[in-house]
Chains A and B, each alone.
Chain A
Amino acid sequence: MYINNILSSLKKYKFLMNQLISRDFKVKYKRSILGVLWSLLYPILTMTVMALVFSNIFKFSTPGVNYLVYLLTGLVMFNYFNEASNLAMSSVVANFSLINKIYIPKYIFPISKCLFVGINFLLTLIPLYIIIFITGTPLNIYHLLLPYSFVCLFIFTVGMGLILSSISVFLRDMFYIYGVVMTLWMYITPIMYDIKMISEELQIFFKLNPLYHYINFARRIILYNEIPTPFTFVICAVTAIITLLIGVIIFKKSQDKFIYYI
């Protein structure tokens, strides 16, 4: 019944969602000469910088697999989460003038941001695959399983976006706090290093981080040519769905109060 409600309102507001996403695209690239090309160029360039810094200056490496591909796989997925959760967090506050004047289901704003960054994410897969080809990393049939981890990452991000956007309405400090949290989060997620480089006791804590599992899922396939363990499958889905549920509950409980705080 409740699910039915959501689905019918999603259908009703699909066009609005489309418009919001295409607005984001237009506004983002409107005044730049290269336009949408930046969606491809920007990740390529930042990833190149990261790769140069970490493989040449810090001499990071991952035994047995190509470090560049290792780094980029983690980076692409982490960047998605970082950008989408940040945009989703500010989406409700940013659209206050609308929320105050007309009835629109408020969850549309964080979700449309997650989708918008999601389209950018799919574009960054192009440079990732180019690097995979150039470095001669072999492809395998398991690549078809990758969307599973992307979907989990997306669901997790939507959940986080719902949580963050509702908290930030009541607590504007959240924008700063989350900036700090993200910096920490970036370092405790094994993006530029291998989790095996850390002591065993610490590894347990690092594995509480859902992002580690989504990235690990993708790396198992892309780098190690193996199917992720059943445990990885389960943990990815469970963390994503639990986060989404928490997000939905928090958002639903607080959304009627938004209007008094914005």
Chain B
Amino acid sequence: MIKINNVSMRFNLGIEKNFSLKLFFINLFKHKNKEPKKEFWALKNINFEVKKGEVVGFVGCNGAGKSTLLKIVAGVMKPTKGSVEKYGNICPMIELGAGFDMDLTARENIYLNGAILGYSKDFINEKFDAIVKFSELEDFLDVPVRNFSSGMVTRLAFSVATIVEPEILIVDEVLSVGDIAFKQKSEQKMKSMIKGGTTVLFVSHDIRQIRELCNTVIWLENGMVKMQGEANQVCNEYEAYMLNR
């Protein structure tokens, strides 16, 4: 179960510009009367609740705040205001292969990436063969990942990330990776994970997938919930809106 209470997220724009050694020391000595910074509210007062086993899709144009919202739920960012309540272990599939070290072999990376995702050693030992089998990279286990093609890297990453059965699954546009054959396989895997009773938060620009997989859809627009409700209904409205823009 996930509960989002009044979450707002503020970013300061132009942080890079305003930050220099000189300003650092100036600001050190004058805490007050700082210049007002340019602010950008990526999320404004978001409220919703996801029940156990529910599959929630998020739609909205680029920059609407979908990924920021998922990162807040995953615990990567802390909201400026509001709070997030979540129960159960989370498997964030926000970007695959983030923890790979290109100098290590596939075998070593499975352990490293598994550890980063919070798996225990015994768990990885137990699932190692399954991971390798799914990735179909048996022949390249002791090759440094540096020499892999990008498709092979994502296949490995996908296989490591999806080996768990998490209670909460966060998916940001990673439904299908690799060549056509692996694409089908990974889509099947994702679908079986999603249908397997886990709670899913799912961001995609593919409305077909959203309709197919989600019970509820939340439509974000400029950091606010524009519409929320039954999947087909929201998707119809969203598509009509996007086409008439």
Contact = CB atoms under 8 A, between A and B. Distances in A.
Interface of A: 12, 15-16, 18-20, 23, 26-27, 30, 97-104, 170-171, 173, 256, 259-261
Interface string B153-178: 00000000000000000000000000
Nearest to B101: A23
B241 to A, nearest CB: 30
B98 A98 contact: yes
A234 B78 CA distance: 40
Chain A at the B interface: SS class? helix
A18 B111 CA distance: 10
A103 B120 CA distance: 16
B112 interface: yes
A12 B115 CA distance: 10
Contact of B74 (A19, A20, A102): A102
Interface residues of B, number: 29
Contact of A26 (B77, B90, B98, B108): B108
B160 to A, nearest CB: 12
Contacts of A97: 98
Nearest to B96: A101
Interface of B: 11-12, 15, 19, 21, 24, 74-78, 90, 92, 94-95, 98-99, 101, 103-104, 108, 111-112, 115-118, 120-121
Given A19-B111, A98-B116, 11 more contacts: A15-B115, A18-B115, A20-B115, A23-B101, A26-B108, A101-B92, A101-B94, A102-B98, A103-B92, A260-B12, A261-B15
Contacts of B104: 23, 26-27
Given A171-B21, A259-B76, A16 B92 contact: no
Given A23-B112, A27-B101, A102-B98, A15 B120 contact: yes
A23 B110 CA distance: 12
B116 A104 contact: yes
B37 to A, nearest CB: 11
B12 A102 contact: no
A104 B76 CA distance: 8
Contacts of B95: 101
23 contacts: A12-B118, A18-B115, A19-B111, A20-B112, A23-B112, A26-B103, A26-B108, A97-B98, A98-B98, A98-B116, A100-B98, A101-B76, A101-B98, A102-B94, A102-B99, A103-B74, A103-B75, A104-B116, A171-B21, A256-B78, A259-B77, A260-B12, A261-B15
B116 A15 contact: no
